[in-house]
C-alpha cells in the first residue's frame, strides 16, 4: 500500500490470495459464496439461493444477507493487504433496506480506507430476481490488519 495511492495492491497475486483466504474458510463454503469480480480495492461476491439460506421459500434470511455483505467488504479490503497480513473483524454494521427475494444475492464490496493497522470497507447487497436488481442491504465493516504468522502460533 502506498500513502499516495492506497488502491495499489501490495500483493501482486492479490486475487488468488483473497480467493484462497476467504473461499477456503469452512463458513464460506457452507454458505456457498462465490467471487465473480476481484480488483484492487473492490470485489463482487455472489450467493446463490438455497432453501437452507431462507426463512421461507424464496426469501433469504438476514444472516445470509449479512454474510455475503461481510465476505464482499472484508475481501475487498484484503485485495490491498500484503500477502503476510490478514484482516480480523472489529465491527460490522448492516442495514436491511428491502426483502432479499430472488435467485441470488450479489454483494459489491469497496474499500473506504486502507490502513496498515485498520481498514474500513462497505458492501451493497442486491437481490436478483428475474434479472432485476433490488438493493436489499448495505454494510460497513472495520478490520484490524495483523501479521498472519501471529495467528498461526
Q: Domain containing 106 — which CATH number?
A: 3.10.129.10
What domain count does the chain have?
Answer: 1
Q: What is the mean pLDDT of the chain?
A: 94
Domain carrying residue 70? 14-152
| Under 8 Å between Cβ of 23 and 78 | no
> In this structure, are strands 85-96 and 59-60 parallel, antiparallel, or unpaired?
unpaired
For residue 3, pLDDT over 70 is answered with: no
For residue 53, pLDDT over 80 is answered with: yes
Residue 6 lies in a domain: no
Query: What is the reported pLDDT for 5?
Result: 54
**Which residues are within 8 A (CB) of 109 and not within 5 positions of it... i.e. 6 or more apart?**
42, 43, 44, 45, 69, 71, 72, 73, 74, 75, 76, 77, 121, 122, 123
Amino acid at each position: 500500500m502506498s500513502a499516495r495511492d492506497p488502491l495499489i495492491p501490495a500483493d501482486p497475486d492479490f486475487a488468488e490470495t483473497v480467493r484462497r483466504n476467504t473461499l477456503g474458510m469452512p463458513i464460506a463454503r457452507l454458505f456457498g459464496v462465490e467471487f465473480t469480480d476481484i480488483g484492487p480495492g473492490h470485489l463482487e461476491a455472489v450467493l446463490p439461493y438455497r432453501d437452507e439460506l431462507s426463512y421461507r421459500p424464496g426469501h433469504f434470511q438476514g444472516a445470509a444477507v449479512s454474510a455475503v455483505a461481510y465476505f464482499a467488504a472484508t475481501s475487498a479490503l484484503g485485495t490491498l493487504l500484503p500477502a503476510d497480513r490478514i484482516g480480523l473483524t472489529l465491527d460490522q454494521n448492516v442495514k436491511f433496506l428491502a426483502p432479499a427475494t430472488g435467485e441470488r444475492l450479489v454483494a459489491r464490496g469497496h474499500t473506504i480506507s486502507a490502513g496498515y493497522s485498520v481498514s474500513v470497507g462497505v458492501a451493497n447487497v442486491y437481490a436478483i430476481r428475474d434479472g432485476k436488481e433490488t438493493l436489499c442491504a448495505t454494510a460497513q465493516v472495520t478490520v484490524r490488519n495483523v501479521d498472519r504468522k501471529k495467528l498461526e502460533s
